[in-house]
Amino acid sequence: MKGYNTIFYLLFVLLIMGAFASMAQNTYGLRILGGVAIVFGLVFLIRFLRSGQAAKNVPAINRVELLCLSILSLLLACRIFHIYFPFLDIAFTLTGLVLVLIYGKKMILHSGELRPKNAILSIIIFIYYLSLCLSIIALVAIPFLPQYTEYIGIVAFTLLSAFIASALLRGKFMIDGADISVFRQVMSYRDNAALLLSLFFVGFMYIGLVKKNILPAIYSDDFPQTYFTLVNNAESGKEKPVDGKYKHEEFKARYDAFLKSAQVQVK
């Protein structure tokens, strides 16, 4: 994991650069964000393949975690670039739910191990993983339960903020005769939970600032702004699907047909 920290740091920088470029209405902003998602997916895939060479030292649950993170990142890149194929949303959601099961198991396991040693630290670790599980659910449930995802996200962000506050204010805990900080404890688990929560924290902060009209929304000129308004209505639960389809799906199909027709006429 340590060998990839520099790559993850650079990806974070590019993520922020892409977001600000998009907010400034530069068309390359979304391309940067999509490229970051692809690189994340490839890095997780490489780590998954390399873990197979040392399968005895890498628990199976950690290998499945890496594979799911790779798939989720690449599918997210497809959504950013408006590349859709049959069952994309189903694959996206199922992959996320597998991750929820993985981190849910880690939540029960690690908090249970700490309970007899330090009850307070056990609760903090429980909140740590619970906030991650709810964050993933809020991300992958958008296509199917858009009316609930905002509330799930608020609860996840509240728990994540509580974890960060407790980690900073509480200091160190006595575990097996040694003083250990919360951050050192979570890093000892050798998974990607801390990385994901860092991404979710940035995402939650951005969404909150957009809703308060402090920051502009992500901009794209790939489609008319009406399309993105319809997408937001679907994802926020303001619109209900008719015959299993949302208005933005019908809009995109007609818009693509219009562009194709226009190209034929120009030729």
Please list the residues that pair with 245 across neighbouring strands: 242
Tens of pLDDT along the chain (267 residues)? Answer: 566 788 899 999 999 998 888 777 677 888 899 999 999 999 999 999 988 776 567 788 999 999 999 999 999 999 888 787 778 889 999 999 999 999 999 999 999 999 999 999 999 999 999 999 999 999 998 878 878 888 999 999 999 999 999 999 887 888 877 888 999 999 989 899 999 999 999 999 988 888 887 877 765 555 555 555 555 666 556 666 666 666 666 655 655 554 454 444 444
DSSP at 192: S
Helices (H), the chain: 5-23, 28-53, 60-80, 88-114, 119-140, 146-170, 182-187, 193-211, 225-235, 247-266
* pTM exceeds cut of 0.85: no
Q: Half-sphere exposure of 55 toward its Cβ, with a 13 Å CA cutoff?
A: 5
Residue from 11, 30, 5 nearest 223 by CA: 30
Residue 51 corresponds to which tokens in the numbers above?
A: 């873990």
